[in-house]
Each structure stands twice: as structure tokens, then as C-alpha cells.
Amino acid sequence: MAGSIPASATASVTAAAVPRVGPWQEAWRRFRKHRLAVVSLVILSLLVLAVLVGPFAWRLPIDEIDFTARLEGPSWAHPMGTDDLGQDILARVLYGGRISLAVGFAAMMVAIFVGVLVGAVAGMAGGRIDAGLMWLTDLFLSLPQLPLLLLIIYLFRDALTQVVGPELGVFILIVIIIGGFNWMQVARLVRAQFFSLREKEFVEAARALGASRMRLVLRHILPNAMGPVIVAATIDIAAAIIAESTLSFLGLGFPPDVPTWGRLLFDAKDNLDFAPHWAIFPGAMIFLTVLSINFIGDGLRDAFDPRRVVAS
Amino acid sequence: MAQPLLSVRNLVKRFPVRGGILRRVVDQVHAVDGVGFDLAAGETLGLVGESGCGKSTTGRCILRLIEPTSGEVRFEGRDVRALTGNELSAIRRDMQIIFQDPFASLNPRMTVGAIIGEALEIHRLAKTRREREAKVADLLETVGLRPDHMSRFPHEFSGGQRQRIGIARALAVSPKLIICDEPVSALDVSIQAQVINLLEDLQEKFGLSYLFIAHDLSVVEHISDRVAVMYLGRIVEIAASRDLYAEPLHPYTEALLSAVPIPDPTLKRDRIRLQGDLPSPMNPPSGCHFHTRCPIAEKDLCDTRVPEFREVRPAHWVACHKRG
């Protein structure tokens, strides 16, 4: 920051030497100081890249049954081994990763959208609307999630499947219900941010200029509230991937022929004694993904929190 | 006096205090308790008083950033409190505000160009992007910054520079009145003088009126034509700046002025030390708000009857039973 005293006519020139740093560049600079987060970002990028282009490079089909190669351990032909039908696990893990990650990101989007909406309305309106929305938030927080998830899927899976097909139907259903059960923390965060930000002088200044409510929210309050929301979003992705795995593991997720990571674990559980590789590889993928997303969330929190001193 | 630019009468703002499980209103903070004054075009009215006496609330009530509880605010004869929607938005082109804290008053996620240009955008004062940028560049030069500062973010500037940005934002809509809410209290003394000089230059150039809120009496004396002294939500004295400083009439003004340091260590002066603390605005004293600390208060008069605001000398108004 230019620290010198500005001359009365033209202000200081010292700032000219400093390169352009916007808030986002500054956040990125701080994020890079968090070594684990950077490593995690690399790992997660590799994982995403692998599931996106992997199936084109590793061309073994996910559903080719080969009884001559049942429950084989890792080999050059099958780097992650095969399952009880002789299907290649690497191909299935790569394909399943697409679904697991897609569910994770999509459910996060749903959670953030609902959370920001509820939080913003509560934070702007205050009074009774705020009290009502927070009551709703608390209600959702106190619901027993897993039994409810199972019940909803049990009730609606068939109806939705008939309309849009089994894979897409289950995908939409799972994304909506996982997202629909994960927005509460975001809503509370956003509401708290709104309460403090709307009293800030720069918001008052915008009001004094005659800015509409919409402009206040979109230009002044929301951009300044997004830091903690982005952190919460990363954690939500991890939570959604775990939730999807849990559902699939309980046999209530995608149809049996769609290999998500959770489904692979579900299929592998009866063969743990003599084919541990079957469970280890998809399990490791879930573990790696969730761990690296959590570290990235950690790094983002440091990056967005200006009070936290990061060694330069 | 001809029609004043701004005329405030009996302005009252009470904040409810909620308590208990049902969050019922259990008490009220009398932040502003019947304030009235006139402000002429091109004039600077200083508003002084200690922290918590309602100075800033008064300023914000005039702009309707806070809705007043009751009272009348007229700007060029129009009743500001009755305005809605577009009319309110329109009058905000005429009245602007500069804030105390230059670090909180600029949106950290917007560039300086966007911050200043926003006013032009809201009121559609520039047709094209290029025109808007040209106007922002002009404004930056007017407040002593360089046009290429436009693409920078607030955190790249010092406190004094940020205050200049805040001033440029207020100027963008070419207002007639600017409410300066302690605009220099957060700045170094050397920077204070620069910002004060800038405000004076701008007043001359654009014919602005200022309502200058401050607690630094020497700054107020320097910039104001007239000064109003506030105590616990009420104005106790209004006079031309010179008269007030030469001959304060209200005992509170006397005490306040005797606390201003004199830049001469050999001079000694009798300081009037007020007894006790500022009473709570939740439960202000009866009668004259100042009687609990007043050296000349009279029993059964000052503690029971609210003193009338009287013009005891030409253009010198005071609210005291004992003086004038």
C-alpha cells in the first residue's frame, strides 16, 4: 500500500511500482502459502483429469465379463485387478469417479444455491421472515438425515426413473436430496455475513447514492460474503461424495450396473477376505478425493481470512 | 433569511431496546431528542458534541439512512420524510455523505473506478462506458488523485487517499449538500489539514453546503460558518463560529471549549471540569438534560422544566434557563 503522504495536488506515486493486485489475486497468493492445500489441489486436478479423459485412454469396457479372470489381483493387464465377474476395476473406478464427482459438485451447487438464497433473504429481511427461515433451518438440521434419505429415495426413485430414465433419474434425485440436506450451514453463514455487512459504511454509502436493494445485495454484500461460502462449498463437495457413497453402499443409490465408488465398495464387501484390492482402490479414491478437498477448503479459509497472518 | 437549503425541526429518533424471552420493547434509547436547525446554501454548519450524543444519528436521519421517529426534514422546501421510491432516489443526488472510517467506507471488492462510477450508473449520468470513465477520471483529478488510480482497489491506498476517494464518490452526483460525518477524525493530523483544505476548495468551486459533524472543536472552528453544540440528543447552543468560540453562553459549551488544548505551554487556563459521567440516553435526566452536571443548575427549575431554545443575541441561540 502506498504509505507516503499525498501531496495536495496529486497523490503519491509509490503505488505505481507495486504490481496490480486485486482481492482475488491476493487470495491466490495467500492460498499458495498453504503447501498441503496446493498439493491437494494438484491431486484433485489429477483425479478430475483422470476420470474425465481416463476412460478414453484406458479403453477396457466397464462391463466386459471374463470368467477366466475372476478376482485377480493387480497386474499389467488389470492394474487394479478384477471383480467376481472378471470386470476390470480400473475402468470401473474411472467411470464411477465421473458419477461420484459429478454428484459431489452438483449437490454442492444445489446446497450453495439454496443456502445463499435462504441466508440472503433472512439476512436482508430480518424480523419475522428471518425468524421463520432460521426456524426452518434448525428444523432441517435436527432431522435424522440417513433414514429420511432412504425413505425419500424409496418413495420417489421409481416415479422419477420412469420419466427420465434410470441413470439420470437417480442422479437428479440424489443430487437434490443430498443438496437439500446440506444447505443449512451455508444459510447460517450467509445470514451472519449479511447481518454484519449490511451495517458497513460502504453499504450505507451505496444506499445514500440511491442504490436499489438488489444492487446492494449483488454488488456490495454478496461479493464480500462469498469467502466463507466458498470454503463451505468445498467441504460440501466432500460431504456429498461421502453421502453418495453411503447411499450406494446401502444399495439405494444408482442401479447395480452403474459403478459409482460407493457401489464398488458395496459389491466388494462380501469378498474382502480374498479380494481386498476390490475394495481398497475405490476406497482409496474416495479417501484421496475427500481428503484433498478438505485441505483445499483449509487453504481457502486461510486465503480469504484477512485477519490470519500468512508468512510472506 | 431566505428559504434555507435544509431545514430540520423537532427531529426525534428513538431506538427500541428489546429484552426478555419475547423480545418485547422494554426501553428506548433517545438518540436524537428534538433537534432543529437551518442550513443555508453554501454554508457550513458544524455539529459538535461528545461521543454518543446523537450527532451521527442526526446526519443519517436527514439522509434517511436511518428512519427518524418523528420530526420534519425539509430540503429546498420539500418534505424529505414524505418521499418514496423515485423521489427519494432523486433527492439523493442532492444530498450526499462522507464517512468517518476510510477503511470501512469503500467496498474492498470493487475498483476505485467502479466505486466512483456506481453513482453515475445508478442515476444514469453517463451514457456510455467511455463517458463514465472520463467523468470518473475528472472526479479523481478534482480530489487530487490521478486518473490511472481508477483500476486500483481500495486496499492499495492510504487513509487520506481513501478519504479522497470517498469524497469523489459523494461528488459524482453533483450534490448541493454533503453531510461530513467526522471525515477527518480517523486521519493523521498532517492529512487532516489536506482533507479540510480540499473540502474548502470544493465548497468554493461547487457552492456546496456542509453539515460538518465532528468532535474536534478546533477543526470545526476552522471550517464552519456556524456551530451547533449537541448534548444528549438535543442542541444546546447555535451561533456563528466566531461568537460561539469568543463568548459561549451555555455552560456545556463553556466546559467543552475550556478543554480545547492551547498550543502555548506558558498559558494556563481555568479548565471547567464537569462532574460525573454522561447520563444514559436510555434514561435521560428530566428537565434540562445537562442539569446533573451543570455548575450553575438551579433546583426546581433546571431539573423540572425543559429550557426553551431562545435567540438571546442576534443569531445566537441557546437553551438554558440561567443564561441570556
Could you read off the pLDDT of A108-144 as tens digits, one per residue? Answer: 899 999 999 999 999 988 888 999 999 999 999 888 8
Are A200 and B160 within 8 A, CB to CB? no
Q: Which of A57-61, A171-175, A218-222, B171-175 has the lowest mean pLDDT?
A: A57-61
Judge residue A56's burial from the number of C-beta atoms within 10 Å of its C-beta, 0-12 exposed, 13-18 middle, 19 or more buried: exposed
Distance, CA of B221 to CA of A28 (rounded, Å): 48
The rounded distance, in Å, linking the Cα atoms of B45 and A289 is 64
Q: What is the dihedral of CA A147, A152, A157, A160, to 10 degrees?
A: -160
Pairing of strands B316-318, B78-79: unpaired
The C-alpha atoms of residue B265 and residue B110 are separated, in whole angstroms, by 47
Say yes or no for a CB contact (<8 Å) between B144 and A11. Answer: yes
Residue type, position B63, single letter? L
What per-residue confidence (pLDDT) applies to A309?
55
Contact A5 B109 (CB under 8 A): no
A136: how many CB neighbours lie within 10 A of its CB? 14
pLDDT for the residue B162: 92
Q: What nine digits make up the cell of A38?
A: 496446493
Residue A147 has pLDDT above 50, yes or no: yes
Whether residue B169 and residue A3 make contact (CB cut-off 8 A), yes or no, is: no
* Closest residue in chain B to residue A24, using alpha carbons only: B109
Q: Name every residue in A having a CB less than 8 A away from some CB of B.
A: 1-12, 15, 18, 20-23, 26, 200-202, 204-211, 215, 219-220, 223-224
Cα–Cα distance for residue pair A299/A30, rounded to 1 Å? 8
Q: Cα separation of A283 and A272, whole Å?
A: 12
**Does residue A71 have a pLDDT over 70?**
no
Q: Which chain B residues are Cβ-neighbours of A12 within 8 angstroms? A: 158, 161
For residue range B175-211, list pLDDT tens digits in order: 999 999 988 888 888 889 899 999 999 999 999 999 9
Task: List the single residue in B with minimal CA-CA distance to A26.
Answer: B155
Cβ-based contacts of B104 with chain A (< 8 Å): 200-202
- The nearest CA of chain A is from the CA of B109 a distance in Å of 6
User: A208 and B97: CB-CB below 8 Å?
Assistant: yes
Per-residue b/e over B27-59, b at no fewer than 16 CB within 10 Å? eebbbbbbbbbbbbeebbbbbbbeeebbbbbbb
Judge whether residue B274 has pLDDT over 50.
yes
Q: What is the CA radius of gyration of chain A?
A: 24
SS (H, E, C) chain B: CCCCCEEEEEEEEEEEEEECCCCEEEEEEEEEEEEEEEECCCCEEEEECCCCCCHHHHHHHHHCCCCCCEEEEEECCEEHHHCCHHHHHHHCCCEEEECCCCCCCCCCCCCHHHHHHHHHHHCCCCCCHHHHHHHHHHHHHHCCCCHHHHHCCHHHCCHHHHHHHHHHHHHCCCCCEEEEECCCCCCCHHHHHHHHHHHHHHHHHHCCEEEEEECCHHHHHHHCCEEEEEECCEEEEEEEHHHHHHCCCCHHHHHHHHCCCCCCCCCCCCCCCCCCCCCCCCCCCCCCCCCCCCCCCCCCCCCCCCCCCEEEECCEEECCCCCC
Q: To the nearest whole number, what is the mean pLDDT of chain B?
A: 87
Helix A222-249 × helix A276-304 angle, to 10°? 170
A210 CA to chain B: closest CA distance, Å?
Answer: 5
Taking residues B113-138, what's their average pLDDT? Answer: 89
Looking at residue B45, its pLDDT comes to: 94
Distance from CA of A139 to the nearest CA of B (A): 20
Residue-level pLDDT at A20? 60
* Band of pLDDT at residue B2, cut at 50, 70 and 90: low
Residue among B96, B149, B190 minimizing CB distance to A5: B190
- Distance separating alpha carbons of residues B66 and A176, to the nearest angstrom: 41
The whole-number pLDDT of residue A8 equals 42
Contact A202 B145 (CB under 8 A): no
Distance (Å) from the alpha carbon of B20 to chain A's nearest alpha carbon: 16
Tens digit of each residue's pLDDT (9 = 90 or more) over A251-285: 777 777 778 888 888 877 777 777 777 788 888 88
Which residue did the predictor score with more confidence, A164 or B172? B172
Which residues in chain B touch residue A7, judged by CB atoms under 8 angstroms apart?
A: 144
Rounded to a whole number of angstroms, the distance from the CA of B57 to the nearest CA of chain A is 13
The C-alpha R_g of chain B, in whole angstroms, comes to 21
**Interface with chain B: mutation pick from A209, A212, A305, highest number of B CBs within 10 Å:** A209
- Which of A202, A209, A224 has its CB closest to that of B119? A209
**B199 close to B223: Cβ distance less than 8 angstroms:** yes
Residues A281, A93 contacting (CB under 8 angstroms): yes
Per the prediction, chain A carries an average pLDDT of 80
Chains A–B, number of C-beta pairs less than 8 Å apart: 112
| Residue A231 pLDDT exceeds 50 | yes
Report the distance separating Cα B124 and Cα B126, nearest Å: 6
Query: Strands B44-48, B226-231: parallel, antiparallel or unpaired by DSSP?
Result: parallel
pTM for the complete prediction?
Answer: 0.79
On the question of pLDDT at B32 being above 70, the answer is yes
Residues A79, A54: Cα–Cα separation, whole Å: 13
Residue of B nearest to A5 (CA): B191
Decide if pLDDT at A21 tops 70. no
Distance of CA B307 to the CA centre of its chain: 24
Residues of chain B contacting residue A127, judged by C-beta atoms under 8 Å apart: none
Residue A55 has pLDDT above 80, yes or no: no
Say which range, A171-180, A241-250, B266-275, has the weakest mean pLDDT: B266-275
Q: What is the pLDDT of residue A6?
A: 43
Measured CA to CA, the distance from residue A19 to residue A26 in angstroms comes to: 11
Is B158's CB within 8 Å of A20's CB?
no
Task: Tell me the C-alpha distance between B119 and B110, whole Å.
Answer: 13
Grid coordinates given for A169: 433419474
Minimal CA separation from A14 to chain B, in Å: 10
The whole-number pLDDT of residue B201 equals 92
Most confident of the following: A47-51, A164-168, B1-5, B226-230: B226-230
pLDDT at A26: 77
Closest to A2 (Cβ–Cβ): which among B95, B110, B161? B161
Residues B236-257 have a mean pLDDT of: 89
Distance between B97 CA and the closest CA of chain A, angstroms: 7
Residue of B91, B158, B178, B199 for testing the chain A interface, max A β-carbons within 10 Å: B158
Cβ of B108 within 8 Å of Cβ of A204? The answer is: no
What does the pLDDT average to over B295-320?
86
- Chain A residues with CB-CB distance to B142 below 8 A: none
Q: What is the pLDDT confidence band of residue B226, given thresholds at 50, 70 and 90?
A: very high
Q: At residue A15, does pLDDT exceed 50? A: no
* Chain B residue nearest residue A6, CA to CA: B161
Q: Is the pLDDT of residue A12 over 50?
A: no
What are the φ and ψ backbone dihedral angles of B85, each rounded to 5 degrees? 45, -115
Q: Who wins on pLDDT, B215 or A85? A: B215
- pLDDT score of A308: 56
Cβ-based contacts of A4 with chain B (< 8 Å): 158
Picking from A201, A203, A226 by the largest number of B CB atoms within 10 A of its own CB, the best residue to mutate is A201
**Count of residues in chain B:** 324
Name chain A contacts of B198, Cβ cutoff 8 Å. Answer: 8
Single-letter residue type at A106: A
pLDDT-based confidence at residue A306 (cuts at 50, 70, 90): low
Q: pLDDT value at position B1?
A: 52
pLDDT on residue A3: 43
**Minimum Cα–Cα distance from B89: chain A residue:** A210
Task: Return residues 192-231 of B near A (CB < 8 Å).
Answer: 194, 197-198
Q: How many CA within 13 A on the CB side of residue B61?
A: 28
- Average pLDDT (B46-69) is 89
The band of A10, judged by pLDDT with boundaries at 50, 70 and 90, is very low
pLDDT of residue A311: 52
Cell of B301: 427549575
Q: What pLDDT, on the 0 to 100 scale, is given for residue B177?
A: 93
